[in-house]
Chain A
């Protein structure tokens, strides 16, 4: 009778032990699940995509700068397509084994010298990280508009010009090294705000009139505009 009584409670003990083991196991699984996202190199993946996107944008800027800085008559209108093709091929060499494919869906180079513009749409595939069909569109442009001209003497002139980038905002921090008038350096450049509080540049130069104004932004893109009459 005594041994039979001592065996009581065994199943409960086993059940409680099993429950404890299960709780510990679930804890371990939960820990793995939570830290998986922490240790998976998401930042590296986003940086790789960012690297490709930033440098594809720079490729557009380079192509537009190359086109707008070419001597008149020697411009290469295929420069954008040529550079994109080279970049697509070189990306696979730069990141071997990652399965990078950059498809260009469309591209265009607008050659209006007052407002040169390059646009392109891309689709990115990176097999290594399971990225498929990441689409991005890029536009780069520079616009120059000469809005007025005054003179203090027969050779001293002040030109007012607005320089706008693809964002639609005026380009800041331009100085006299960024401008040329009638193929000659300018005397000085003073930024100011116009009636609608937009940034304009007052460019002083000595020379003749009418004036052909050229501007280069920090990316090397060139735009050109002319003015033929003085503002009354």
Chain B
């Protein structure tokens, strides 16, 4: 009689273990299979990471300063950025001097933009990246002019 009583409730324990296993398996599957919606926080971080990397890489290669400080090469800068980013990424680069005055973007020719202004106003997530340059030596006749002339680059970046 005693042995019979001690075996009672075993099925419940087994049921509970099975239920717990099913719950754990379901949670694991949800984690693996669920298509997670893009989190605005992560999306912004990704965009900003991409923007920083692009500007930093161009600067490390010695291209960024030569393109930024030469107004005639701003279209080349646009092309360089366009090549660097994936096709679904739009950007707008504005160059400011230290007093906060815009050096480009006032006219269509001076804009360093991919996408139109509506792309940025309608976008849910727009990343913003700030990068600075200290100056650039430019040839003037037989010599070089090498003055300290810092500029601030503000890159707005979004996905289309």
Contact = CB atoms under 8 A, between A and B. Distances in A.
Contacts, number: 125
B59 A59 contact: no
B28 to A, nearest CB: 8
A47 B65 CA distance: 16
B60 A5 contact: no
Given A16-B16, A17-B20, A55-B132, A220 B137 contact: yes
Nearest to B23: A20
Interface in A37-71: 39, 41, 43-44, 47-48, 50-51, 54-56, 58-59, 61-63, 65-66, 69
B96 to A, nearest CB: 10
Interface bracket on A: 35 or more
B73 interface: no
Interface of B: 5, 8-10, 12-13, 16-17, 20, 23-24, 27, 31, 41-42, 45, 48-49, 52-53, 55-56, 59-60, 62, 65, 98, 130-139, 142-148, 150, 152
Interface stretch (A89-97, A109-117, A194-202): A89-97
Interface of A: 5-6, 8-10, 12-13, 16-17, 19-20, 23-24, 27, 31, 39, 41, 43-44, 47-48, 50-51, 54-56, 58-59, 61-63, 65-66, 69, 83, 86-87, 90-91, 93-95, 180, 216, 218-220, 222
Task: Give the residue among B16, B31, B148 with the most A Cβ atoms within 10 A.
Answer: B148
Contacts of B23: 20, 24
A27 to B, nearest CB: 7
B143 A69 contact: yes
13 contacts: A24-B24, A27-B27, A41-B49, A44-B52, A54-B56, A61-B146, A62-B136, A87-B148, A94-B152, A216-B139, A219-B137, A220-B138, A222-B144
A20 B49 CA distance: 38
A222 B137 CA distance: 12
Contacts of A47: 52-53, 55-56
